[in-house]
């Protein structure tokens, strides 16, 4: 008789000057749920507010992608005060046309340059460890904050793509 089989995987922890990029934890649920129930945060991410139970499923999916692909989304924690600030990393559902450098912040973290800082760290890590020749950021038109982050990172607009029924601009980050 065969014994139980296990699969182990590691999610790295990255640090920037002001942030820790780490795996999602059960203790992130309430802060993440509050972020995902904020209409201003969700406006350019489908505009469908998420209930607490849905956010738990999002966290499970984010963790599962690490096991399936070896990369994924990081939870963002502000070092100064431990605030759950949002997420950044490589999002790659099966229907995505290519890996996405994705980022989203809770309103309390807006306007501080944290999205750029987190996305830059995740992008550098992904290029170094996974050898991607490029990553894309799929940004719904009108999301000026997200477009500015992509521009600050040196991404170039490269047409549009339809994902899950939404038309998005494709911003390409070259290695």
Instruction: Please report, for the chain, the start and end positions of each structural domain, with discontinuous segments joined by +.
Output: 17-174
- Among residues of the chain, what percentage have pLDDT more than 70? 97
What is the token pair recorded at 54?
């849905």
- What is the distance of C-alpha 158 from the center of its chain? 20
Residue 37 pLDDT: 92
Q: Model-level pTM?
A: 0.92
* pLDDT tens readout for residues 25-42: 999 999 999 999 988 888
Q: What is the mean pLDDT of residues 138-157?
A: 96
pLDDT class of 149 with cuts at 50, 70, 90: very high
Instruction: Show the beta-strand stretches assigned E in the chain.
Output: 14-15, 19-22, 73-78, 84-91, 100-105, 134-139, 156-163, 166-174
Whether residue 1 has pLDDT greater than 60: no
Whether residue 2 has pLDDT greater than 70: no
Q: Which fold has domain 17-174?
A: Aminopeptidase (3.40.630)
Q: What is the mean pLDDT of residues 140-163?
A: 95
d(CA 25, CA 20): 13
pLDDT class of 51 with cuts at 50, 70, 90: confident
pLDDT class of 3 with cuts at 50, 70, 90: low
């Amino acid at each position: 008789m065969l014994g139980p089989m296990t699969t182990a995987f590691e999610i790295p922890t990255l640090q920037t000057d002001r942030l820790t990029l780490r795996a999602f934890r059960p203790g992130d649920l309430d802060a993440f749920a509050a972020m995902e129930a904020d209409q201003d945060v969700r406006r350019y991410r489908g505009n469908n507010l998420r209930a607490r139970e849905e956010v738990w499923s999002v966290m499970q999916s984010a963790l599962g992608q690490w096991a399936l692909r070896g990369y994924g989304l990081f939870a963002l924690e502000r070092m100064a005060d431990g605030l759950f600030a949002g997420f950044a990393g490589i999002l790659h559902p099966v229907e995505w046309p290519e890996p996405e450098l994705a980022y989203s912040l809770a309103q309390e973290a807006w306007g501080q340059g944290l999205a750029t800082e987190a996305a830059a760290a995740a992008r550098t890590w992904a290029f170094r460890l996974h050898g991607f020749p490029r990553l894309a950021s799929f940004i719904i038109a009108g999301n000026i904050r997200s477009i500015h982050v992509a521009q600050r990172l040196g991404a170039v607009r490269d047409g549009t793509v339809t994902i899950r029924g939404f038309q998005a601009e494709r911003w390409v980050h070259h290695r």
